Structures are given as C-alpha cells and as structure tokens.
Amino acid sequence: MFKIEKKISKSLARAGVLQTAHGEIKTPAFVAVGTKATVKSLTPEQIKDAGSQIVLTNTYHLYLEPGEKQIKRSGGLHKFMNWSGPMMTDSGGFQAFSLGVAYGSGINKFIGTLAPERDDLDEAYSENKEKKAQVTEDGVKFRSVIDGSLHFFTPEKSIQIQNDLGADIIFAFDECTSPHASKEYLREAMERTHRWAERCLEEFKNLTPNQQQLFGIVQGGRYEDLRKKSAKFITRLDFDGFGIGGSFVKEDMATAVKWVNEILPEEKSRHLLGVGEPIDLILGVENGCDTFDCVAPTRMARNGTLYTRKGKINILNAKFRNQMSPIETGCGCYTCQNYTVSYLAHLFRAKEMLAATLATIHNLYFLNNLMSQIREAILNDKFSEFKEEFLKNYKS
Amino acid sequence: MFKIEKKISKSLARAGVLQTAHGEIKTPAFVAVGTKATVKSLTPEQIKDAGSQIVLTNTYHLYLEPGEKQIKRSGGLHKFMNWSGPMMTDSGGFQAFSLGVAYGSGINKFIGTLAPERDDLDEAYSENKEKKAQVTEDGVKFRSVIDGSLHFFTPEKSIQIQNDLGADIIFAFDECTSPHASKEYLREAMERTHRWAERCLEEFKNLTPNQQQLFGIVQGGRYEDLRKKSAKFITRLDFDGFGIGGSFVKEDMATAVKWVNEILPEEKSRHLLGVGEPIDLILGVENGCDTFDCVAPTRMARNGTLYTRKGKINILNAKFRNQMSPIETGCGCYTCQNYTVSYLAHLFRAKEMLAATLATIHNLYFLNNLMSQIREAILNDKFSEFKEEFLKNYKS
C-alpha cells in the first residue's frame, strides 16, 4: 500500500507513494479538507487543478446530513461528490467531542497546533468535556449541531459509517484530548483510544471486505512516555497505516511526532491530523509524516488570508486594492495566472463568492506545490537545504 | 454590427449575429448578469461552459467599488475580470434611482415584469422616488449604498464611466419609472430620457473613438402613445442599437415591446432590459427582441430555484433529498452531467458555496440552451411550433 522511494539521512523524512483503490498519492502530500463532501467553493476539477491528489471528508457531519445510508445509496462518497481520486474520512471522534454535548456550553478555543486546525476550529473544545461529552467505555454520546437530537458513536458505529461512506482510507475512532488536560486524564483517554482501536479493527474485519484501508490513531498528548506507549501499542495492531492525533502547544508538535515516528513501522504510511501551516508541514515531514490535512488553509482563504513564499498576506489590507500583479509572481495557480490582487481585493470587499473560490485555489495550490517541492528536495537529497531556504524567506 | 440571418413571418422574431469588438453573439441570446464584475459564484470558464456568449456588468456598482478609473488602470473590464468575450454595461440609471436616495426609505417592491428583474430586485424602488431621488434636468443625485456619500450621475458622466469600464456595448443614461407612476410623470421622465439620450450621444462622440457601441433606451411605460413616441424619437438618433427599458405589470410586456419594435429599425439590434423568465424570453423574441438580461435566473439559482422544461423546482423541497437523477435528465449542463439532485439538495441544506455554483451553471445553461433552441427554430421556420410545444410543458 505504501512504498518508500527515498529516505533522508539525519532525519525521518521520506518520499513515497501511497496506493489506494482510487489511485496513488505521491508523498509527502497535503490532503484537501472537504468536510461536508465538498471542498468549500470548489468543483472537483478545480481541486484537482490546484494540485490536490486526495480529499478528506468528515464522518460526523456526513452522518448527520445527508446520512451515510443516503451516500451509500448514491454509490458512495466518490460518486456522490464527483471526486474520482483518493479519499479519506476521519472517524468523527473529534467532532463528536467538540461539536457534541460540549457545543455552546462554555467551550474554550484550543491554543494548540494540532486540534485547532482540525475541522471546526471555531467551535473548538471544552476543557471540561470529560463531564459534558459523556464519554463512556462504550463510546460518545453527543447532540446534533443541526437539530439537537441525541446520537451515540461507538468505535463499531464509526467504522460502519465510514464503510458506508466508502472512502479509500478510514480512521479508527479516537478520543482527542485538550492540551490543557491533566496527564492523568490523557492517560485514561489514551488507554480508552487503544481499546477502541482494537474494537475498530475487529469491526473492520467483520464487515464485507472492500478495498478500504484502516489507519490506527496514536494519541498521548505532550508526554513522551504516553506518546511512546501509544505508538508501541498501535504498532502492534494490524492497521494499514497510522494517524497521529491529539493536540499540543505549537512548540511540542515536532518533538511529539518524532517520538511517535521513531517507533511506528517505516513501511506503513503516517498521516498527521490537523496540521497545515507551511512550517509545520516541513517539520512534520522532517519528523517522518507522509500526509497532512487541515481546514485552516481553505478557511483562511475564505477570510482573505493568502500564502506567499514570504508569509501570509491579508487581501483586505488597503494597499492591495491597487496591486496590479498576481498574489505571487511566478505562482502557477489558476488565480495567479489570470487575476490581479486588485481584482481579488475587489471581490473580497464586495463579498463575492468568487473571492472564496480564487483564494482557495491559491492556498491549496501553494501547499500542494510546497509538498511537491519538498518531495523533489527529498528525492534529490536536498531536504535540509530546501528547509533552510524556505524558513529564511517565510515569516509566520 | 448586427446582421439578420432569418426572419419569421407573422411575428417580429428574427435570428441574427451581433458583432462586437470581442466577438460575435448569435441571437436571440441571454446575457449573463455579472453585476460587480463577476457572475456570482462562477469563473469565466464556467460562464462560457454554461453557454453564455455575453456578460453584462453594472456601471453604478463598479463606479462605487472599485471605481472606473481603477478598472481602466487594470486594462478595462475584460482584463480586470478575465472575460474575453462580448460584454455590456448598463448605464447606472436604474441603480441610481432604486439604490440611491430612495434606498431604505419606504421603498416598495416592483410588481412589474421588467424592472424587478433588473439588478437589485430586493432593494427595488420607491413610488415617491421623484421626490427622494433628486432627479433634475441635469442628472440624478444619489447616495452610495457603501458609505452614504453623495454622488451625481449625469448622462455625460454615465458615458464617461462606461467608456473607462470598456464594455463592447454601453447604454444611454435613462430614467426607469415605476409601474405605478402617473401617465403625467411617465411622459415627463420619458422626455427627460430623450434629452439625456441626445446628451449621451454627444458625449460619446466627444470621447476618444474606440470600438464601443452605444445603445439608446426606449421608455414610455405601459402607454401605447408614449412607447411609440419614445421609439420614434430614439430611432431618429444615431445609436448603434437599442434597449427597451421600463416596467410593466407582467401582461403588458409583450404588447409594449411589440409597439416599440414595430417602429425601431430592423437592421439594428434590440436588447430587452431586465427580462429573463423563459416565457417572457419567448414572447420577447416573438415581438422582435434579440438579447435579454436579467439577474433573476442566477439569483434564483442561489436560492435553490431551478429551471426544468416543466417549470421551476425548489431544491429545498424534502422530496429532492432522495432523487438520484440529475435536475433534468438529458440536460447537457456540467451540473446535470455530474451530480444528482440528492447531492445538490445536500449542498443547499448544508449552505455550501458549491450549491450556488452548480445551481447557477444549470440555470444559465437552461436559458442559453433555450435561446439556442429558439434560434434553431427560427432558422428552420419552426418558431411557432417551438413556442407552442414549450408553453405546453412549462408551468410558470
């Protein structure tokens, strides 16, 4: 399923190819987030033209609306949303916690790197979620954000839903913890996630065989002993690949990922959940991750925040009204090839929908192109030079 | 500039080709409305793929934001918005009245056919606008909807702005009256519009020659004597083509258009302003109009109202959640070729931007395809058969 093409000495970075039932992904790669079976404001052709090889959609949201059975009747997610390439679904765990019982009741925003950039940033998380989310050994009880109805996700239920949805890569049901959680709670949640991982695998084997791959999720927060314990436990199970989940304050991310990836088997693919900042992507690759998803790049685009090699710009800044050049000279994206910043600034000021489309195309292209350049650098044994050069120019 | 290819006996219908500096328009044709230099939610490629030959943008809105000088510096509207085909701008008259001083102060919605389907339906119009809009012999004073600042449009100013914007076809500055206006006021406004028409032509001749065509506008409301008087007056002036403006209650439209087009010279093109309902398009063609613009088809699309050969449907109706077929079987549009109604219903329920894109593509394609079929019918001398067949199926 995963083939390493090249490894880098003195780091965990590697370039590879991840095979799925709907084609291959050249890694490292950024996964475009299409939460509700659409990458907001883009057609599948535009997603592909922006260089995206793979899309991630959201189990929790699609379970609530239109329902996984409806999507199954439509022939599965690929047919439903007209995306013929590789696809992932997350397990719904993060949303069940953050949008579920905790929703609207004194929730706090994450200050960490991973979790806040997973889907539903704005709705975030509760420090007290262990009380509000009603996590039990069996699963998670939560309320629908649509109509307030009560729902219950178990590991088995998550796998069944993801099986109906029909993505190529699916994830085990995990509990995503707050960066403020106590070590005691982190350990408890991690051990529950491990038991759930075994139940997910069991359920996956019981279902009609298909070409889906099931990835297990490593948790453990910011603690070395927990992360290593989790990596070892998940490694022993028969997963097709791995996700690294959880939440850290920003500085801890690369370290925690390294602890985990030094343990995970080299020959299986590793996905870092909820990470999409350019610098974090480079650090993630350096520390052994192959794929990444994050809602932030597309959400930021809709708010007018755009990537350039020098850092992010906000298109609503007055000076951009008169800029007759593209967002970035030399950028190969559809937006930069055809429109000035002046036009884009006009669209944002006028609150036109095309603003979101053109900005999203640019940000996706920027990250896809970054990943493609990282891949080239690895293949040519120039990863550290690339990293140094990029970091020198990019102001975060 | 305009060449008739085929006329129909017993009606005023004709098929032709309208030449512009950015290519030809095969008529009859529907003009896609792109008010603020964007057809909402679509890229220019998507507009073209939906079969649109020509786009109309709005002088009033572009004057306020980003400003006509900014667009001129960008190389004109075509370059600014990346549309290489034919383009029209309206004169800004309708918006100066409806969005200007009258805005927000006891305004009423139109009940007519023409005006309400011109841009800015929701903001509509004031019955008392003659008091509030500060129309003088010289022009119209109005307040910006953006910042409340005061502006003054004269016929000369409108032509200067449209010249800077650089569309292929521009319109004379006219006063669009309410269907409730007294005959006395209609006559007064019409005569003022005639004097403004002469001033527009004069200004147009004084500007640096370019390849723009200036169309004069016939007014006169629902009165036969006024309409005929207006048509005769505008005919005598040296316009490249004509617009038919104003507002009627629905039943009066075809009759009023016929009065006008029996007088306007056959060899010049005629644009019916603000008309886009399928049945009105057929009646408009039958009574001698070549092109039509209307914001309603794209606005309705964004609200989930979609055309079919049997009439309009609203995608938010519960039954559509389970419809696994396209909006209309056999429809050649991108949306119907690639997506089920079920998916589209999901996107609308989830308030996803792609909903607007896919629905707009369908509605534009439907009208463009309708116009293309009307054209074929005229060329094959089967217009009345086509009309009968269409009206038999279409429930408005």
Partners of B346 on chain A (C-beta within 8 Å) are 36-37, 65-66, 70
Relative orientation angle of helices B278-286 and B383-393, to the nearest 10 degrees:
160
R_g of chain A computed on alpha carbons: 20
Is B293 one of the annotated active-site residues of the chain?
A: yes
Chain B window 280-339: which residues touch A at a Cβ cutoff of 8 Å? 321-322, 324, 334, 338-339
Q: What is the pTM of this model?
A: 0.93
By Cβ distance, the residue of A74, A338, A347 closest to B38 is: A347
Determine which one of A90, A120, A252, A290 is catalytic: A90
**CA A15, CA A376: separation in Å to the nearest integer?**
8
Predicted-complex ipTM score:
0.93
Instruction: Please answer yes or no on whether B354 and A73 come within 8 Å at the CB atom.
Output: no
- A120 by Cβ neighbours in 10 Å (0-12 / 13-18 / 19+) ranks as buried
**Rounded distance between C-alpha atoms, residue B191 and residue B198, angstroms:** 11
Q: In which element (H, E) is residue B146 found?
A: none
- In one-letter notation, the amino acid at residue B264 is L
Tokens of B122: 């929701």
- Determine contact: A145 vs chain B, CB below 8 A: no
The whole-angstrom separation of Cα B286 and Cα B183 is: 27
Euclidean distance between CA atoms A8 and A387, whole angstroms: 13
Q: Look at B97 and A281; give whichever has higher pLDDT.
A: A281
- A52 vs chain B: nearest CA distance in angstroms? 17
pLDDT tens digits, residue range A233-270? 999 999 999 999 976 666 689 999 999 999 999 999 99
Whole-number pLDDT of residue B121? 32
CB B331 within 8 A of CB B387: no
% of chain A residues with pLDDT over 70: 89
CA B241, CA B204: separation in Å to the nearest integer? 14
Q: What is the pLDDT of residues A308-353, one digit of tens each?
A: 999 999 999 999 999 999 999 999 999 999 999 999 999 999 999 9
Cβ–Cβ < 8 Å for A264, A257: no
Calculate the CA A122 to chain-centre distance: 16
Is the predicted pLDDT of residue B372 greater than 70, yes or no?
Answer: yes
Residues on chain A touching B334 (C-beta within 8 angstroms): 43
Cα separation, A224 vs B220, whole angstroms: 82
Please state, in angstroms and rounded to a whole number, the distance separating the CA atoms of residues A137 and A234. 18
Catalytic residue among B49, B90, B119, B280: B90
Please answer yes or no on whether B322 and A70 come within 8 Å at the CB atom.
Answer: yes
B346 to A36: CB separation less than 8 angstroms, yes or no = yes
Our CA-based measurement puts residue B309 at a distance from the nearest CA of chain A, in whole angstroms, of: 25
Taken in order of first residue, the domains within chain B and their CATH numbers are: 2-294 (3.20.20.105)
How sure is the predictor about A112, in pLDDT bands with cuts at 50, 70 and 90? very low
Between A171-185, A285-299, B107-121, B340-354, the lowest mean confidence (pLDDT) is in B107-121
B37 inside 8 A of chain A by CB = yes
The DSSP output letter for B208 is P
Q: Produce one character per residue of A338-352: b if its CB has 16 or more CB atoms within 10 Å, e if not.
A: bbbbbbbbbbbbbeb
A212-221, A367-376, B2-11, B204-213 — which is least confidently predicted? B204-213
Report the residue of chain B nearest A345, measured CA to CA. Answer: B66
Q: pLDDT tens, A12-61?
A: 999 999 999 999 999 999 999 999 999 999 999 999 999 999 999 999 99
pLDDT-derived band of residue A133, with 50, 70 and 90 as boundaries?
A: low
| C-alpha span between B44 and B23 (Å, rounded) | 15
B341 sits in which H/E element? helix B341-349
Q: Does A342 contact B at CB distance below 8 Å?
A: yes
A280 is catalytic: no
- Kindly compute the dihedral angle of the four CA atoms of residues B329, B334, B335, B340, in this order, to the nearest 10 degrees: 60
- Examine residue A28 and say whether the peptide bond preceding it is cis (omega within 30 degrees of 0): yes
Q: At A176, is the pLDDT very low, low, confident or very high (cuts 50, 70, 90)?
A: confident
User: Quick check: B52 and B326 in contact, CB under 8 A?
Assistant: no
> What's phi and psi for B329, nearest 5 deg?
-60, 135
With the CA atoms of A49, A52, A53 and A54 taken in that order, what torsion angle do they form, in degrees rounded to the nearest 10?
Answer: -130
**Side-chain half-sphere of B57: how many Cα atoms within 13 Å?**
28
The one catalytic residue in B138, B147, B293, B381 is B293
Assess A364–B contact: CB distance below 8 Å, yes or no. Answer: no
Assign B231 to helix, strand or coil: helix
Which among B277, B261, B204 has a CA at the least distance from the CA of B13?
Answer: B261
CA distances from B124 to B63, B115, B127, B208 (A): 19, 8, 10, 35
More confident site: A209 or B101? A209
Residue-wise pLDDT for B261-282, tens only, equals: 999 999 999 999 999 999 999 9
Mean pLDDT in residue range A126-135:
51
Beta bridge partner(s), residue B2: B18
Q: CB-based contact (8 Å) between A72 and chain B?
A: no
Q: If residue B111 lies in a helix (H) or strand (E), which one and from where to where?
A: none
Closest Cβ opposite residue A38 in set B43, B334, B352: B352
* Spatial separation of the C-alpha atoms in residues B343 and B323, rounded to whole Å: 9
> What tokens appear for B92 in the block?
């800004």
What are the strands, taking DSSP E only, across B103-174? 140-143, 150-153, 169-171
Contact B38 A352 (CB under 8 A): yes
pLDDT reported for residue A114: 33
For residue A320, the chain B residues in CB contact (below 8 A) are none
Q: Strands (DSSP E) along chain B, which ranges? A: 2-7, 14-20, 23-27, 29-33, 55-57, 87-89, 140-143, 150-153, 169-171, 213-218, 241-244, 269-272, 291-293, 305-308, 311-314
Interval B135-158 mean pLDDT: 89
Put simply, whether A352 touches B (Cβ < 8 Å) is yes
| Nearest-10 Cα torsion for B282, B286, B288, B289 | 0
Strand boundaries in A82-168, DSSP class E: 87-89, 140-143, 150-153
What gap in Å lies between CA A339 and CA B102, rounded to an integer?
A: 35
Q: Nearest Cβ partner of B343 from A81, A321, A342? A: A81
Report H helices in B40-134: 44-49, 59-64, 68-73, 77-81, 93-98, 129-132
Average pLDDT over residues B28-32: 98
Given A322, A345, A357, which is nearest B43 (Cβ)?
Answer: A357
Token pair 């490894």: residue:
A7
Rg (CA), chain B: 20
- Return the residue matching tokens 């693919």: A269
Hey, are the CB atoms on A352 and B36 less than 8 Å from each other? Answer: yes
The answer to which of A22-36, A93-107, A299-313, B68-82 has the lowest mean pLDDT is A93-107
Pairwise CB contact (< 8 Å): B82 & A339: yes
Mutation target among B343, B347, B349, B360 for the A interface, most CBs of A within 10 A: B343
Residue A150 is predicted with a pLDDT of: 87
Beta strands in A52-205 (DSSP E): 55-57, 87-89, 140-143, 150-153, 169-171
Cα–Cα distance, B268 to B219 (Å, whole number): 17
Q: How far apart are CA B276 and CA B33, in angstroms?
A: 11
Asked, as a colleague might, if the bond just before B116 is cis with ω within 30 of 0, I would say no
What does the block give as tokens for A97?
């916690």
- pLDDT above 80 for A97: no
**Best mutation target, A43, A144, A337, to test chain B (most B CBs within 10 A):** A43
Q: Looking at CA atoms only, how far is residue A370 from chain B in angstroms?
A: 25
